[in-house]
Amino acid sequence: MTAALIDGRRYAAEFKSELAEQARSLAAEGARPGLATVLVGDSYPAMAYERRLRRLADELGCHYVGEAMPGDVAEADVLATIGKLVADPRVTGILVLRPVPPHVSEIALYNALDPLKDIEAVHPINAGLLSEGRPHFVPSTPASAFHVLDRYLSESGRDPAAVYERSNLVVVGRSNNVGKPAVLLGLARNATVVSCDVHSYRAGLLAEHVSRADILIVAAGVAGLVTGRDVKEGVIAVDVGINPVEDEVTGKVRLVGDLDSDSVRQVAAALTPVPGGVGPVTDLWLLRNTVSAAALPLRIANAWGEQHPGSQLLETALRTSRLPSTSPT
């Protein structure tokens, strides 16, 4: 068996066309989406990610603000910058780029976000809503992993819902931004979900759980962690890892995933390549959340009327997670 490669680039191209149309429609109604990024320090991956998002926002016609600060900036100054972006009506989505320096608390930064502009669902309100199965935003990387899974299953003639309900879904990695949300998204699809991390590895249990996976999502950040010997025949494997590896002969750096793709491909039914799998969809999903955030005031106005006092009440309720118990009439 040789696995099919799940073409994330094709899915991303189709997704981008749909998203561009949504952004244009919103802008025509006076609700232009706007993305802001906050970069603290000089992390190369974070800087590269910022450049990609800036370019993509421009291609989609979104307003863009990039706030960059030196690595020795005081935490209070970062919080003040976030406060400025929260108050900026042109900004509908805010992303704090990771990593941040050790003296700056990620939790403090996340708490300072407006939940309605928190497009990666890192604010406690949004993380809680996600855990309850009623997310306002879904973090971009796990959302993209399931987007490509859903598309692959549909295109191969299967009902995604039926597949998940009879599948063992194993997630390797428990980060707050990928692994844990992926577990929640799998549970929301009624899959039988197992979460593994470094503790599973140290206990000698990782290979056992991985070998039972019908669907495998690997987001551990360890190059070649899972090999063809570890997985069962016919597994569908989604590789979220992006690991730079230097070629011993040429010295050139290339990106590889958490799967040993050559050996896994001989056993799996399908897998996502690195690069070209989940990654191309992830950037677009972040902009999708930005576009959704821009649409919220219009949805409120359409439901209640711009001058109706319920408009402000509903927006306040969404920010505090106290949702109205009745619908507008």
Question: What mean pLDDT, rounded, does the chain reach?
Answer: 91
Q: Cα(6)–Cα(193) distance, rounded to whole angstroms? A: 22
Percent of the chain having pLDDT more than 90? 82
pLDDT one-digit tens code per residue, 52-68: 999 999 999 999 999 99
Residue type, 8: G
Worst-scoring range by mean pLDDT, 83-97, 196-210, 234-248, 309-323? 309-323
pLDDT of residue 318: 53
Mean pLDDT of 228-242: 96
**Domains identified in the chain and CATH numbers:** 31-120 (3.40.50.10860), 140-277 (3.40.50.720)
How much is the average pLDDT of 32-40?
97
DSSP per-residue string spanning 257-297 = -SB-HHHHHTT-SEE--TTTSSHHHHHHHHHHHHHHHHHHH
**Helices first, then strands: H and E counts in the chain:** 13, 11
pLDDT of res. 319: 54
Among 19-28, 72-81, 130-139, the range with the most confident prediction by mean pLDDT is 72-81
pTM: 0.88
Nearest to 109 by CA among 3, 117, 24, 100: 100
Mean pLDDT on 248-262: 90
Task: Determine the pLDDT at residue 90.
Answer: 96
> What is the structure's pLDDT at 22?
94
The confidence score (pLDDT) of residue 253 equals: 83
Whether the pLDDT of residue 303 is over 70: the answer is no
User: Is-contact 113 86, C-beta < 8 A?
Assistant: yes
- pLDDT category of residue 92 using cuts at 50, 70 and 90: very high
At 15, which amino acid appears? F
Query: How many whole angstroms separate alpha carbon 295 and alpha carbon 283?
Result: 19
Residue 217 bridge partners (DSSP): 171, 238
**Is the pLDDT confidence value at 311 over 80?**
no
DSSP secondary structure code for residue 118 in this structure:
B
Asked if residue 323 has pLDDT above 50, the reply is no
Q: Give the pLDDT score at 316.
A: 54
Q: Is the pLDDT of residue 324 over 50?
A: no
Assess whether pLDDT exceeds 80 at residue 309: no
* Per-residue confidence (pLDDT) for residue 308, from 0 to 100: 47
Specify the pLDDT at position 306: 52
For 129-168, give the DSSP string.
Answer: HHHTT--SS--HHHHHHHHHHHHHHHHTT--HHHHHHT-E
pLDDT computed for residue 297 by the predictor = 77
In this model, does residue 252 exceed pLDDT 80?
yes
Residue 32: predicted pLDDT: 94
Cis peptide before 124, with omega less than 30 degrees from 0? Answer: no
What is the predicted pLDDT for the residue at 328?
Answer: 37
Of the two residues 315 and 245, the one the predictor is more confident about is: 245
Does residue 216 have a pLDDT over 90? yes
Provide the pLDDT confidence category of residue 108 given band limits of 50, 70 and 90. Answer: very high
**Burial track 5-40 (b if 16+ CB lie within 10 A, e otherwise):** ebbbeebbeebbeebbebbeebbeeebbbbbbbbbb
pLDDT of 227 higher than 70: yes
The reported pLDDT for the residue numbered 250 is 87
pLDDT of residue 48: 87
Q: Sort residue 18 into left (φ over 0), alpha (ψ -120 to 50) or beta.
A: alpha
Distance CA 273, CA 290 (A): 27
